[in-house]
Amino acid sequence: MTETSAPAAVLADFDAYTQAVETVTSAARAYYGGAESTVDDDTYDRLLRGIGEYESAYPEHVSADSPVGKVAAGALATGDVRHTVPMLSLDNVFDPEGLAAWAASLGRRLGRPAAALSVEPKMDGLAVAVRYREGRLEQLVTRGDGIAGEDVSHAIGTIEGLPDRLPEPVSVEVRGEVLLTAEQFEQANEIRREYGAPVFSNPRSGAAGTLRAKDRPYVVPMTFFGYVALPFPDDESAFAEELRAADHSEVMRRIEEFGVLTTGRTAARLRVCADVEQVQAAVDEIAALRAELPFGIDGIVIKADTAADQRDAGLGSRAPRWAIAYKLAAVHKITRLTGVDWAVGRTGVIAPRAILDAVEIDGSVVGFATLHNPADIERRGLMIGDQVSVYKAGDIIPRVEAPLVHVRTGDETPIEFPVVCPQCGGGIDKSQQRWRCVRGRACGLHAGIRYAVGRDQLDIEGIGGRLVTQLVDTGTVTDLADLFTLTREQLLALDRMGDASVDKLLAGIEQAKSKPLSRVLCALGVLGTGRSMSRRIARHFATMDAIRAASEADMADVEGIGDGKAPKIVAELVELAATIDKLVAAGVNMTEPGASPAASAAAATDAADTDADADAVAIVAAEGPLTGQAVVVTGAMTGPLAALSRNEMTELIEQAGGRASSSVSAKTTLVVAGDKAGSKRAKAESLNISIMTPEEFAELVRALLPA
Ligand code: IVH
């Protein structure tokens, strides 16, 4: 994972040198300005080191624009809030040898090896200084040029991990990174799509744009992770003195106790090491966790842990001598866009997908990436043959960022948009940003049926892709409801279907008839709804009849739907009327266990009367051991819950009268934290929310668990 020794670029002559200086400074300008990167991190580091080597060989050629030795490669404009002490950058190493050399030089400077070294992730976000005065969150300042930064206090209240108040009236400046977690990034793009704004191409530029944005009609939540805490220079309080004397790992513990988020409780928490061998092992450990962390990291930071060692090592002009960044290979890579294909999804949406020259990114080979929708392709001005920067982090689907326009050869060709549906040859409805086959879900039937029989929907075993193809291609199944009237004879007539497999399949179909309404609704594939929305609708209305009778205004009352989505959902239900009628006739259950429409209506009115908070217009659930609880599940489930999917956990919570949510907030009342629970657990602890193990939780809801 960590063999990232990016060799310095060899700059053969003065021209190559000036070119490299120009490339690096413009890339730095884009990067620090939060725009699309113009070169990937590896290339950037190689060029920067090449420039350094060229300058040592030809000091007389050094350009005034040289990025070497400048904070942010000299790219930044000065903002208007002066930092109490400069916000420095970090020097980099790329491999074990570089790390060992740094540790040795630190040892020489101290006259002995460092007493202890701490190792922690280098978050890939925006550096900010967060000022707490007498326990109150007062100001948020970007790094800017390191001497002064921009006041972005308007973002207070939208950043998780930064409480408004500390539990003690102390003054402290916490420095750290503001970023979008993988979940927040997806959420941000969903919101932006709804508002017709261009999607963010990566979490980093999303966070940069969001931190500065002032007048957006919507909120994009971000997350803060602290990595340094300083007293104000003139503060002589006991707390300030304590902070000055404390070791780095101790300081981090203190701010964590205050409820400020650090990486302390994520799997990549700070490790304190005794020597460079232990440091290298810790670096390897954190690097190996990279793909599963809920936020992007671009390296690992090693710091002299004790206050005395930090003081004795001192600061350079650009970076402290007591810390170093061990850079990891980029998750951005440059590769070639060789084509675009257009696939028809289960609801008939026609989605473009980039075909790329395969490239390894963060441990996996990427050959395809999403391109969102045709408007997005046009906005980016992509062409076939373009060199493009591709981004991937954690389990986020790879995305194409910007084309590298300056390296075009002239041989690039325009991307052709389909004029007819690529699946059925029919017309395309282009009235929305996402194009859709005019036949809608009839065209996406293969994918639709496969989705409907999936584990989290109707959970019918024994229907694989091949069988679905046969059923659809022979016209045996023309919609979801036809599955429920399949006969023995019809099934036996298909390839590879013997008595035993037909029996099993028919039994599975029979069982599916009694699934809760929420699953049936989800299986129908109503455009604009997924699993959780289907559950909310089913709980809100309790019966299919009530759902079908709902006006747009009624539908807009369901949490998370609102006026924007309601008309689409109502229209979809009309479009699905014939299929729903057939499902009813086939004896498929159309009620949601535990929900009752009367209760829903009453509770919605109550909540509207007493609480202006939209979130509080609760989905009414059954009475049960979790009545009134807002529950978040995180980490891997064990014991009696080990086999449950997240969707099944959510169903369980709702059956027990609770409300499930995916993120921890002040409204959360219980967190079920399994193995490898990360930031959600940390957040729950910081907010003093009850935390249970999966086993404890299983005990609480025992009556509802399958025997
Ligand atoms: S310590 C005085 N620790 O990386 C030194 N920095 O490339 C302060 N960063 O400017 C930096 N994670 O914005 C430190 N765990 C971490 C970090 C971290 C990310 C950022 C920080 C710094 C930049 C240098």
Query: What backbone phi and psi angles, to 5 degrees, belong to 693?
Result: -80, 160
Atom of ligand 1 nearest to the CA of 124: 19
- Enumerate residues 6+ apart whose C-beta is below 8 A from 281: 273
Query: Contact, 518 vs 535, CB < 8 A?
Result: yes
The count of C-alpha atoms lying within 13 angstroms of the C-alpha of 629, restricted to the half-sphere facing its C-beta, is 28
- Enumerate residues 6+ apart whose C-beta is below 8 A from 699: none
Domain with CATH 1.10.150.20 in the chain: 444-512, 517-620
For residue 333, give the 3-state DSSP assignment: strand
Distance, CA of 28 to CA of 21 (rounded, Å): 10
Distance 559 CA to ligand 1 centre (A): 40
Mean pLDDT of the chain: 88
Residue 5, pLDDT above cutoff 90: no
Residue-wise pLDDT for 78-112, tens only, equals 457 899 999 999 999 999 999 999 999 999 999 99
Question: 122, 303, 333, 680: which one is catalytic?
Answer: 122
Distance, CA of 640 to CA of 499 (rounded, Å): 34
Query: Contact, 271 vs 302, CB < 8 A?
Result: no
Residue 599, pLDDT above cutoff 50: no
Atom of ligand 1 nearest to the CA of 298: 19
Query: Contact, 208 vs 36, CB < 8 A?
Result: no
Nearest protein CA to atom 16 of ligand 1, as residue: 122
Per this entry, what is the length of the chain?
707
Domain with CATH 2.40.50.140 in the chain: 332-429
Distance 270 CA to ligand 1 centre (A): 14
Q: Whose structure tokens read 């921890």?
A: 664
Domain with CATH 3.30.470.30 in the chain: 81-327
Mean pLDDT of 202-217: 88
Burial of 372 (0-12, 13-18, 19+ CB in 10 A): buried
Residue 48, pLDDT above cutoff 60: yes
Distance, CA of 192 to CA of 199 (rounded, Å): 6
Residue-wise pLDDT for 63-81, tens only, equals 878 888 776 776 655 457 8
Helix residue spans in 179-297 (DSSP H): 182-194, 203-212, 238-245, 248-257, 276-289
Atom of ligand 1 nearest to the CA of 127: 13
Query: Which one is predicted more confidently, 216 or 504?
Result: 504
Closest CA to 678 of 689, 664, 666: 664
Distance 122 CA to ligand 1 centre (A): 6
Task: Tell me the CATH number for domain 517-620.
Answer: 1.10.150.20
Distance, CA of 223 to CA of 158 (rounded, Å): 8
Task: Tell me the CATH number for domain 81-327.
Answer: 3.30.470.30
The model's pTM is 0.58
Distance 90 CA to ligand 1 centre (A): 6
Q: Which CATH number fits domain 14-74: 1.20.210.10, 1.10.287.610, 3.20.20.70, 1.10.10.10?
A: 1.10.287.610
Q: Which CATH number fits domain 332-429: 2.40.50.140, 3.30.2040.10, 3.30.110.40, 3.40.50.720?
A: 2.40.50.140
396: amino acid identity, one letter? I
pLDDT of residue 66: 85
Q: Which CATH number fits domain 630-704: 3.20.20.10, 2.60.40.2550, 3.30.1300.10, 3.40.50.10190?
A: 3.40.50.10190
Closest CA to 268 of 200, 328, 186: 328
Residue-wise pLDDT for 14-32, tens only, equals 888 888 888 888 888 777 6
Instruction: Name the residue of 227, 303, 321, 324 whose CB sits within 8 Å of the most ligand 1 atoms, as the mutation to test its pocket.
Output: 227
Catalytic annotation present for 333? no
Query: Contact, 668 vs 661, CB < 8 A?
Result: yes
Domain with CATH 3.40.50.10190 in the chain: 630-704
Domain with CATH 1.10.287.610 in the chain: 14-74
Distance 91 CA to ligand 1 centre (A): 10
Q: Is the CB of 576 under 6 A from ligand 1?
A: no
Mean pLDDT of 656-663: 84
Query: Which one is predicted more confidently, 567 or 201?
Result: 567
CATH architecture group of domain 444-512: Orthogonal Bundle (1.10)
Closest CA to 11 of 52, 67, 59, 68: 52
